[in-house]
Structure formats: structure tokens, C-alpha cells
Amino acid sequence: MKKLVTGAIFLAFASAGAWAADDVTLQLKWVTQAQFAGYYVAKDKGFYEEEGLNVTIKPGGPDIAPTQVIAGGGADVIVEWMPAALAAREKGLPLVNIAQPYKSSGMMLTCLAETGITSPKDFPGKTLGVWFFGNEYPFLSWMATLGIPTDGSANGVTVLKQGFNVDPLLQKQAACISTMTYNEYWQVIDAGITPEQLVTFKYEDEGVATLEDGLYVMEENLKDPAFEEKMVKFVRASMKGWKYAEENPDEAAMIVLENDETGAQTENHQKRMMGEVAKLTAGSNGALDPADYERTVKVLLGGGSDPVISKAPEGAYTLAITDKALQ
């Protein structure tokens, strides 16, 4: 009898070990919102659980830099824009892109029509609001491409370090501000300014778009087969979540709201955001398109005397994870 009990206990422990979920911590680039719906959907719908993963999603914020979090060991994988990731890599933080859920950029400059701005040639002499903390890189590269100084000179632009709000435009402190198609642009509209009163410049349309919201890990971790396999499962489940979100945007928005512990988000804003985000993830199966990568690198190298990166990176992305995840 004792042998039977001992055997049963052993089998119970063996079974528990076999089914023990692998922990994964994901650090988001910003607060809980539909920008990251795919991950929340994957968790809510059990897609991570089906892969044997226990995923913790950590929201970001104005004082949280994903690159610093992963450098300090606070996350296994982060959501980051490629300009910031490549800049960090050149400075010694060996980040590697393992997947690219976002195919298109949602970044824009949104300007008041009353300023007389109708094209980029009207920027000189104006004050433009720009996000920093790594988000300034696409803008600076764009201005360098146009040959417009950002030093506040008469033939250049004055850069206003923009907070993560639209106040500089509403208060007319800046002629243009940085906005995302899925977020701040609509905050301007909700503030009572009509689309007819605005002029927008999408980075995609201007030919200076860079990749946003990719998934990055530390290079040395990819040398561990167990970690690599864990990321294959994570990417596979995450992309399942993203495609579900694209096909069920309203449901995805509600899942995001359920995960917003701050209570700051509204149903209307999140549903609208999800609709816009779906346009950016459309066309991506999660695998990074090397042509998109090369375009991003070209834009970042085009910074004149002060480029975002000084040389083309090596080993900054891998297709190994998505190749296995998409089999």
C-alpha cells in the first residue's frame, strides 16, 4: 500500500511538472489600451494557456522605458519602436527583433490649418511638438531628410518637447504636434477641433515611416533553446490574438477595457482606437519583412550630421522565431 501511495504521489508530481506553465513577462511601450489589444486578447481567450504559457503583461507609461526594463531583467520581451531599439543596440544593449505585428506606422504630425501650413516646406519658422524618450528619432530623421534644421533658427523649426497629450496644439503653443492615427489625433477631434481645421502629415505618406511596436528580446537569451521555444509559443499565441482582434474589434476593445486597472479608458475611445490599430496590423503575420527593416534603417541613417544610428546594424533581427511559429 505504501508503495502504491508513493507511486501515486510521484505520478502527481510528474504530471504537475509536465503541465507547469512557462512564465513570460511582456513589457508594453505604453499604458493599457487597444494599441496592445492582441496580447490582452491572447491572454483572455486562453491562447497563451493553450501554448503552456503563463504571461504577465506589464503596462508602460511616461516614466517607463521598455529598453531599461529589459536591460534590468524586468521583462523577457518588450514592445518597442524600431528606432529606439536600434539606437539602444548601437549604444550597447543587444536587442533583437523577433516579430513585427505592426506592418504600418500610425505616426503623424497634426497641424492647425490656421497656421498656413499646407506642406512640409511650410515647417521652417514654426514650432513643432515632438515626443522624446526614443520617440523623437523618426521626426529628427524626417527633418534631416528635408534639410530642415531643428535648432530654432529662422530657416529651421523650433522643437517643443511634447508631453503625452495634445495641449500644445489646443493652447496654440505649437503649430503642429505629434499624434498617432489611433490615439492623439482623436483626442484633438474630441476637444472640439474639426478635421477641416487640421492638416495632417502621415509618416507613411511622406516616405519616412519606421517600424513600430515590434517584439524585442535580449540577444544572449536566444542562445538558450528553451527560451527560443518559449518565444516561438509566445509569438504564435500573440499573433493569434492579433488576428482575432482584427476580426472582432469591438470585442477586443472590451477585453482591453477589462484589463485597464486605472479606469482611465472609455469604451468609445478604445473601440475607435482598435479600428485604427487593425489597419496597422493588417497584412502582418508576425514575421518581419526585411524590406521594411531596410527602409527603417535607411531613414534612421539619413540624419545628416546627427543620425539616429551611425551604421547599418548587424544581427538586429531574426526570422528564426516566426519561421517556427508560423509552421
Question: What is the Cα–Cα distance from 257 to 31, expressed in whole angstroms?
Answer: 12
Q: What is the pLDDT of residue 141?
A: 83
Confidence band for 106, pLDDT divided at 50, 70 and 90: very high
Q: Hey, where are the domains in the chain?
A: 21-103+211-325, 107-206
Confidence band for 27, pLDDT divided at 50, 70 and 90: very high
Please report, in angstroms and rounded to a whole number, the separation of the first and last CA atoms in the chain: 48
Provide mean pLDDT across the span 42-67.
96
The reported pTM is: 0.89
Question: What residue has cell string 527603417?
Answer: 296
Question: Above pLDDT 70, what percent of the chain?
Answer: 93
Q: What is the pLDDT of residue 132?
A: 82
The class level of CATH for 21-103+211-325 reads: alpha beta
Distance of CA 258 to the CA centre of its chain: 21
Provide mean pLDDT across the span 102-118.
97
Q: Is the pLDDT of residue 14 over 60?
A: no
Q: Is the pLDDT of residue 17 over 60?
A: no
Distance of CA 154 to the CA centre of its chain: 34
Q: Is the pLDDT of residue 84 over 70?
A: yes
Contact 231, 15 (CB under 8 A): no
Q: 299 CB contacts (<8 Å, ≥6 apart)?
A: 138, 141, 142, 145, 208, 209, 210
Contact 55, 235 (CB under 8 A): no
- Of 213-222, 267-276, 304-313, give the lowest mean pLDDT range: 304-313
E strand segments, 206-271: 214-218
- Comparing C-alpha atoms, which of 10, 32, 18, 37 is closest to residue 247? 37
Position with higher pLDDT, 142 vs 9: 142
Q: 245 CB contacts (<8 Å, ≥6 apart)?
A: 37, 38, 41, 252, 274, 277, 278, 281
Q: Give 275-289 pLDDT, tens digit per residue.
A: 999 999 999 999 999
- Of 65-74, 113-122, 146-155, give the lowest mean pLDDT range: 146-155
Q: Give 210-230 pLDDT, tens digit per residue.
A: 999 999 999 999 999 999 999
Core vs surface per residue 154-166: b (16+ CB within 10 A) or e: eebbebbebeeeb
Q: What is the pLDDT of residue 138?
A: 83
- Comparing C-alpha atoms, which of 210, 21, 225, 203 is closest to residue 97? 210
CATH of the domain spanning 107-206: 3.40.190.10
Q: Give 152-183 pLDDT, tens digit per residue.
A: 998 999 999 998 889 999 999 999 999 999 99
Confidence band for 5, pLDDT divided at 50, 70 and 90: very low
Could you give the 3-state DSSP secondary structure of residue 148? coil
Domains 21-103+211-325 and 107-206 share a fold: yes
Q: Give 177-215 pLDDT, tens digit per residue.
A: 999 999 999 999 999 999 999 999 999 999 889 999 999
Q: Is the pLDDT of residue 13 over 60?
A: no
Question: What residue has cell string 509618416?
Answer: 203
Q: What is the pLDDT of residue 4?
A: 46
